[in-house]
Amino acid sequence: MEGIVPLAIWAALILLGLGLVAQVIFGLRNLTYGKISPISMLIVVLPVLLMVVLGFTVGSWAQAGVITVLVMFVLTAIALLLSGLRNMFSF
């Protein structure tokens, strides 16, 4: 039983990596075919870019992950607030 746990972890990591590679490939394909707008792609890629930038600038990757989550929460709250205000005043 002890030998199967590392194999299961590696299998999960490999599947995760393959899934991420497939998302990047099909995202770029859809971007080139015009099925997705560049702004939508930027919104999806923003957390990854933020994590990478913070990961290299902050001391630890764990701290960079926490800061990324907090920044994304704040950006989400601001977007919801602005959306609600726009609908309230019919801009």
Pair of tokens at residue 5: 């746990």
pLDDT for the residue 3:
84
Q: Taking the complete model, does pTM exceed 0.85, yes or no?
A: no
The DSSP output letter for 59 is S
Q: Could you give the CA distance from residue 82 to residue 55 in angstroms, rounded to a whole number? A: 29
Pair of tokens at residue 62: 């764990």
- Taken in order 22, 27, 30, 36, the sign of the CA dihedral is positive
23-36 pLDDT tens trace: 989 988 988 888 88
The DSSP output letter for 66 is H
Task: Count Cα atoms within 13 angstroms, Cβ side, for 75.
Answer: 10
Does position 81 have pLDDT exceeding 70, yes or no?
yes
